[in-house]
Amino acid sequence: MKTAALLALMVWGVVCPISAKHHCYSILKNDTLVIGNRVVERKFLWNGGQLITHSVVDKTDCYTLFNQGNTCDFVLNADNKQSARNAQCETIWVESNSIHESYLKTIVTYAIGNVQIRREYRIYEDCPVIACDTYLKGTLHNMSTAQELNDVANRKNIEFAADMESQQKNAVLDQLHVQGRHWQVKAVEFLDVTDWNNTLVVERRFIPYRKRGYRGNLLFAKNMETDGGFFFLKEAPCSDVQLAYPGADFISDFGRFQVTGLGVTSKDIRPDEWVKAYGCVLGIFRGEELEALKALRSYQKKQRMLLPDRDEMVMMNTWGDRSQDTKVNEAFCLRELELAHRLGVTHFQIDDGWQVGKSPNSAVAKGSFKNIWSNPDYWTPDPVKYPRGLTPIVEKGKQLGIEVGIWFNPSIQNDFADWEKDAGALIKLYRDYGIRTFKIDGVNVSSKQAEVNLRKMFDRVLQATNNQAIFNLDVTAGKRGGYFYFNEYGNIFLENRYSDWQNYYPYWTLRNLWMLSKYVPAEKLQIEFLNKWRNVEAYCGDQFAPSNYSFEYLFAITMAAQPLAWLEASNLPENAYGVQPVMDRYKKISHDFHQGIILPIGEEPSGKSWTGFQSITSEREGYLLIFREKTLDEKGELATWIPEGANLSLVPVLGVGKDMNVTVGQGGRIEVTLSQVNSYTLYKYTYKQGN
């Protein structure tokens, strides 16, 4: 990471302006620290380094949230009454690279007892969000944890003010205590482990009342009196699989909101190394839900930039046809590359079976899983399957304009203790063959040490490849990063679905993408489409069977994301290759589509809905990807994120739509006609002159 230190403040009481050209600043003067940019500002009471939020300002709408409490934002141990000591503040400008955009980092360090605490605040230009990363070092024996937050059945009646008080203690990542009793709140919980889950987003709406915990990575709160609000994003795995999980991610108590669950225990804290807790992001907005979602997405897009020649892909992976590792060899891959080129894909990924040694996915290997990595030649091409190594495969791919990627299973034993060897194997694949796209599978982050070592592996590979590596992070099983952790390393391989088991239904896939896209950048998800001609008989009589949809429609479902052809091209019939012109046109506009803020529109996919996605690429234009599922209505009315009364020109880019001029109705609704069931259209929309 290239950094340029613009200033280093070590003396409390010195004014520290940041270069105005960056539009970000951090100033510590007397008892106040202020961090901000052109759209947001957060002011803290210094409090000896234990910062207490004073206010958060939305500069765009001149809206201010004042913190009513006097509790420190970060609470490691609720029983500890010791004062902070040795407080320091340093501010660094971190230059952009091919991973993240540039940002201002304010580092506040202090000690309490035997523990050192480092809070690193990140703020990006023109982004209404301030993120905070927390690191701990030292010794601690009694970290506070929240317990039984939702055990309301055993609480007593409230007859006196003292009855309202809760004795529960909890460590807190961040908190706000805001004025007012008329807050509408939504906590959003996410689920991965998608081999077992098929509803991946759960929303809970509530009015804050007595102290209670809520699960989720996101909490949105809006004051119905002022129309202003804020959100917390907890940068952590999904609630089900977090480390040291206290039973809740957020705690509300009337106007007090806390983010809890640090992801560390007392035994994880070390005297000689900084250990990172889960992160916390605070954003502010005013107005409708769209403003909150735009604020969230503006931050998410800055964590890992989407580069067209690295991150955009139409990938093919043959594992979806269930041959597993039985077919992969040089001849098979060369043949698949030829056919992949005919389809129009850009990346061909060789899944499990290319390497020396038994796969941990193999039944033969299950009993000797811990010994798999003892072979010094492991993670080199199998000399029987690939007698000339991977060179012929990679060279053939280059001739055809297809990049070759590889499946990889890090060494999970002993908390990824062999991370350096694994990093070396990936770096060697990059140096020997130019392979830089790696599907990371088989991960189980069961401890903080495992998380630390896995992150070291990723960082080492990025450094050695000059940030050219991209990891397809599988979230289908085990304790993994979910949707808001490890985001800087690549995209997310969302789900395994197979027609062999009749768990591939096109509208299921569309529904999962649709639900996630509101809160997770769709362009950071790999979404599958399968060979609809396989296993037709297994779906006999099922009106939602894959065979009832066109192959083009199945591909269109994935357009808002990174499309994944989860199939063997050699099993496709000849007419399947008619999709190539559509893929070619899609590739020309995919980056522009993905650069926008992609959000769901219409109804939740059910197999019989009008549904789709909107990509907001600027204030006056974007894309509408619209699906007519198996509904009898030829005309569909879809709620979009476009303001009422706007006059639009709709020009079809793909699918079966026709040129249209529309006036947006109440609730952002537009009317579209598609004459066939299970059909789609992709429109480019622009505001007409005079709007």
The pLDDT of 303-311, averaged and rounded, is 97
Query: Domains of the chain: which residue ranges?
Result: 3-148+169-303, 315-595, 602-687
pLDDT at 77: 82
Residue 187 · residue 206 · CB < 8 Å: yes
Return the structure tokens found at 375: 């072979």
Per residue in 213-250, pLDDT (tens digit) is 999 999 999 999 999 999 999 999 999 999 999 999 99
CATH value of 602-687 in 2.40.128, 2.60.40, 3.40.1000, 1.20.120: 2.60.40
Model pTM? 0.94
The pLDDT of 618-633, averaged and rounded, is 97
pLDDT at 274: 97
Per residue in 639-663, pLDDT (tens digit) is 999 999 999 999 999 999 999 999 9
The three state secondary structure string of 364-428 is HHHHHHHHHHHCCCCCCECCCCCCCCCHHHHHHHHHHCCEEEEEECCCCHHHHCCHHHHHHHHHH
H or E stretch covering 322:
none
Per residue in 539-564, pLDDT (tens digit) is 999 999 999 999 999 999 999 999 99
**Per-chain mean pLDDT for the chain:** 92
More confident residue, 153 or 253: 253
pLDDT at 141: 79
Residue 492 reports pLDDT greater than 70:
yes
Per residue in 429-451, pLDDT (tens digit) is 999 999 999 999 999 999 999 99
Residue 504 reports pLDDT greater than 90:
yes
Residue 18 reports pLDDT greater than 80:
no
Q: What is the Cα Rg of the chain in Å? A: 26
Percent of the chain at pLDDT exceeding 70: 90
At the top level of CATH, which class does the domain 3-148+169-303 belong to?
mainly beta
- Find the range with the poorest average confidence among 15-24, 422-431, 518-527, 609-618: 15-24
Query: Which architecture characterizes domain 315-595 according to CATH?
Result: Alpha-Beta Barrel (3.20)
Banded pLDDT at 140 (limits 50, 70, 90): confident
Separation between Cα atoms, residue 157 and residue 307, nearest integer Å: 58
H or E stretch covering 18:
none
pLDDT at 147: 54
130: exposed, middle or buried (C-beta count within 10 Å: 0-12, 13-18, 19+)? buried
Per residue in 350-397, pLDDT (tens digit) is 999 999 875 555 544 444 445 555 667 789 999 999 999 999 999 999
Banded pLDDT at 474 (limits 50, 70, 90): very high
**What single string gives the DSSP state of each residue in 19-54?**
PGGGT-EEEEETTEEEEE-SSEEEEEE-GGGS-EEE
Separation between Cα atoms, residue 450 and residue 275, nearest integer Å: 12
Q: Which amino acid is at 511?
A: R
- Find the range with the poorest average confidence among 251-265, 355-369, 490-504: 355-369
